[in-house]
């Protein structure tokens, strides 16, 4: 299954919007902002509701393909300024940093940006503008898999590491895990 073809959901549902807003210190204000400007990106803190792993775009596609073809899938994913933003469990960013520090894996996986407690990320708008540019890396970003539930399943650090190592080593489709 190819996430880019079959799993892409570019709009945020009302339940998904509630989940995103719950990351904010002021969820009602965030929802009011989105109601008045649904095409505007927002900055949300990490660590409470989600962490975010930012991957180079091409590598991010390989990781997502691995998560969907051989793994458990994933929750929300966005594209912003040439990077793939993978939403993960709170605490997973710090754990992934630690796991990637092991020399065995670090040589295969390109540098990732792990945003956790104390960090904030820019998320794409909850709705796309009708005349928005479709080119990746331009504008306010876009949802590859938009939040569509109040409690989306988010992968943990071990799942993301597994997908990163397999993607880096070109093992997509090989179902044996060698982590």
How far is residue 88's CA from residue 98's CA, in Å, rounded to a whole number? 15
How far is residue 173's CA from residue 170's CA, in Å, rounded to a whole number? 9
Q: Counting Cβ atoms within 10 Å, is residue 102 exposed (0-12), middle (13-18) or buried (19+)?
A: exposed
Mean pLDDT confidence for 2-11: 49
How far is residue 69's CA from residue 174's CA, in Å, rounded to a whole number? 10
pLDDT at 140: 64
pLDDT at 173 over 60: no
pLDDT at 172 over 80: no
Structure-token pair, residue 50: 């989600």
pLDDT at 147: 95
pLDDT at 127: 85
Mean pLDDT confidence for 10-37: 93
pLDDT at 58: 94
For residue range 129-150, what is the model confidence (pLDDT) as tens digits? 655 555 444 456 899 999 999 9
pLDDT at 71: 83
pLDDT at 21: 96
- Going from N- to C-terminal start, the domains of the chain cover 3-168
CB 123 within 8 A of CB 78: yes
For residue range 77-117, what is the model confidence (pLDDT) as tens digits? 999 999 999 999 999 999 999 988 876 766 778 989 999 99
More confident call, 135 vs 45: 45
Could you tell me which residues come within 8 angstroms of residue 49 by beta carbon, excluding any fewer than 6 positions away?
19, 20, 22, 23, 90
């Amino acid at each position: 299954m190819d996430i880019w073809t079959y799993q892409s959901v570019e709009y945020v549902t009302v339940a998904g919007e509630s989940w995103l807003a719950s990351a904010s210190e002021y969820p009602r204000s965030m929802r009011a902002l989105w109601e008045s400007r649904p095409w505007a990106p927002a900055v949300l803190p990490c660590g409470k509701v989600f962490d975010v792993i930012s991957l180079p775009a091409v590598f991010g596609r390989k990781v997502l393909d691995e998560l969907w073809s051989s793994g458990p899938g994933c929750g929300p994913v966005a594209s912003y300024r040439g990077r793939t933003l993978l939403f993960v469990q709170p605490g997973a960013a710090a754990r992934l940093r630690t796991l990637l520090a092991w020399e065995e894996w670090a040589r295969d996986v390109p540098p990732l940006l792990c945003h956790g407690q104390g960090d904030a990320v820019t998320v794409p708008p909850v709705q796309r503008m009708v005349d928005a540019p479709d080119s990746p890396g331009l504008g306010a970003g876009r949802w590859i898999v938009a939040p569509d539930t109040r409690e989306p399943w988010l992968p943990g650090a071990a799942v993301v590491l597994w997908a990163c190592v397999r993607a880096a080593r070109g093992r997509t489709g090989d179902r044996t895990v060698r982590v």
